[in-house]
Structure 1
Amino acid sequence: MSAWLVTGVALLGALAGRAAVPLARVFTTATPAVRSAGPVGPVSGHELASVAFGSGRPDDDLRTGRLGAAALAGTLVFGGLAVARGGDPALPAFLAVATVGLALALADLACLRLPDPLVAASAAAALGLVPVALAGGTPQRLLTALAGAAVSFAAYVLLALLPGSRLGFGDVKLAAALGLPLGWLGWPALGLGLLLPHLLNGVVVLVLLATRRVRRDTPLPFGPAILAGAWLAVLLA
């Protein structure tokens, strides 16, 4: 993909990032900011919501740079996908999944919950790979993608059922939705997509504990780590 097209996709990502803020707010403003077992620690869900969305007024978003930060995140996500998957007919489907993923990350940060409508939208976006497979005459690749979704779902169900697990079934459903595009890229990409979220989350938790921003029993969102791990897996595939 040419530098001009990569730049264009990155700019599209900036727009997607800005749009993710009000989209996520729709699904979180009336949602209780609790999800998991254990008492809320020094950083509560409502404080996370304030960090993510502020007062909810557009002028507040602009003044504090929240829309700018979301736009920067969208630029990096879309730009990385364009560089990694440039020329791939499946790129639009990956960008669609990333668009919903930006809103999902903000929603989970705000209320420690992954809204079902957004998770369903990410799965629908991933199904954009179906016409790509049919048009390209590669139905076997679609079967691998579906197997990837099944493997991802089963792995996260097992993790969620472990004693003391902080994973919610929103995390399980999101992992299954992302397993489809990761499976499309092959088993190594799926393996990375399953491993990287836990490594990323571990680093974040250690940093937060070291800086005394959270306690060991503080509920923290895992959705952003799932999304970031999947994104990195696509770049490395």
Structure 2
Amino acid sequence: MSGGLVACAALLGGVAGLAALRVARRWTGRPASIRPGPAVGAVASVATGQPGRPADRGGPPAPARAAGISPSTGFGAVAGAVVGAVVFAGLAAALGGDPVLPAFLGLAAVGLVLAVVDLACLRLPDPLVGAAALVVAVGLTGAALLTGAPERLLGAVAGAALCFAAHALLALLPGSRLGFGDVKLAAVLGLPLGWLGWSPLALGLLLPHLLNGVVVLALLAAGRVCRDTPLPLGPALLAGAWLATLTP
């Protein structure tokens, strides 16, 4: 692992984090600046009295109604840059000079936008999820050609199929609040996780739901949400996949 590589990735990630806030405006309908505090994104139904989470969060963009989004840009710019720098630096430290690194960084860049949009208005727009899929598919194919290991693409496809099937089953369960935007994003994240192997893939399946459970319990304990409050899963899916990538 090169310290210079990690530093360059952190700088690039900071820029990507700032850019994510600006790009997200198209999908949230307002300046996307994350406001501090535990009530982020998903508390929109409490703050506005809007109905629960849409059944399919992959459709056209909706106006931002979330309590966690503020027109103020000061904190959001700092938060976006810091999160982007940490995400990119972590990936560079874990993958080093592996030819697959650009695919993971590209996916992370789109993932930052997806996380902001989901926190803002409980949506994972299909064009953004599709862009993430294209970036990672092209990147993994290039890495397979460079390393002479095309068989690893089979693992990537298997990982995507497994993640899709598992989350589709969860979404179809009675009373499930899992949207099919989440299902599609999970399938995209299964591509790089499947490339890495079965252990990261298993962690990538488990960690998002553990992280989301901790957040839900914390918000319930703080009285910021109630049992039927819709909450975004996209950020947890992305964070879980990132942590699984960092795991040796």
The answer for unaligned runs of 5 or more in structure 2 is 31-43, 51-63
Q: Does 1:214 align with 2:225?
A: yes
Q: Which residue of 2 aligns with 1:5?
A: 5
Residue 19 of structure 1 aligns to which amino acid in structure 2? A
Residue 79 of structure 2 aligns to which amino acid in structure 1? A
Q: Percent identity?
A: 62
Following TM superposition, by how much is the alpha carbon of 1:27 offset from its aligned partner in structure 2, in angstroms?
1.4
Number of paired residues? 221
Following TM superposition, by how much is the alpha carbon of 1:40 offset from its aligned partner in structure 2, in angstroms?
2.5
Q: Is the 2:155–2:197 Cα contact (8 Å) retained in structure 1?
A: yes
Q: Does 1:40 align with 2:33?
A: no
User: Within 2, Cα distance between the matches of 1:106 and 1:183?
Assistant: 25
Q: Does 1:198 align with 2:203?
A: no
Q: Which residue of 2 aligns with 1:21?
A: 21
Following TM superposition, by how much is the alpha carbon of 1:74 offset from its aligned partner in structure 2, in angstroms?
0.2
Q: Is the 2:65–2:121 Cα contact (8 Å) retained in structure 1?
A: no
Following TM superposition, by how much is the alpha carbon of 1:4 offset from its aligned partner in structure 2, in angstroms?
1.8
Q: Is the 2:14–2:80 Cα contact (8 Å) retained in structure 1?
A: yes
Q: Does 1:70 align with 2:70?
A: no
Q: Does 1:101 align with 2:101?
A: no
Q: Is the 2:99–2:146 Cα contact (8 Å) retained in structure 1?
A: no
Following TM superposition, by how much is the alpha carbon of 1:132 offset from its aligned partner in structure 2, in angstroms?
1.0
Q: Secondary structure at the match of 2:68?
A: helix
- Aligned in 2, Cα 1:43/1:91: closer, same or farther, shift over 3 Å? farther
Q: Is the 1:42–1:218 Cα contact (8 Å) retained in structure 2?
A: no
Q: Which residue of 2 aligns with 1:36?
A: none
Greater share of helix residues, 1 or 2?
1
Q: Which residue of 1 aligns with 2:39?
A: none
Residue 106 of structure 1 aligns to which amino acid in structure 2? V
Following TM superposition, by how much is the alpha carbon of 1:157 offset from its aligned partner in structure 2, in angstroms?
0.4
User: Within 1, Cα distance between the matches of 2:174 and 2:109?
Assistant: 33
The answer for unaligned runs of 5 or more in structure 1 is 31-38
TM-score (norm 1): 0.89
Following TM superposition, by how much is the alpha carbon of 1:138 offset from its aligned partner in structure 2, in angstroms?
0.7
Residue 217 of structure 2 aligns to which amino acid in structure 1? L
Q: Aligned-residue CA RMSD in angstroms?
A: 1.6
User: Within 1, Cα distance between the matches of 2:79 and 2:49?
Assistant: 21
Q: Is the 1:97–1:126 Cα contact (8 Å) retained in structure 2?
A: yes
User: Within 2, Cα distance between the matches of 1:43 and 1:159?
Assistant: 28
Q: Does 1:228 align with 2:239?
A: yes
Residues 129-164 of structure 1, C-alpha deviations (whole Å, 9 max, x = no match): 011102221111111111100111011100100111
Following TM superposition, by how much is the alpha carbon of 1:17 offset from its aligned partner in structure 2, in angstroms?
0.2
In the alignment, which of 169, 179, 193 is matched to residue 182 of structure 1?
193
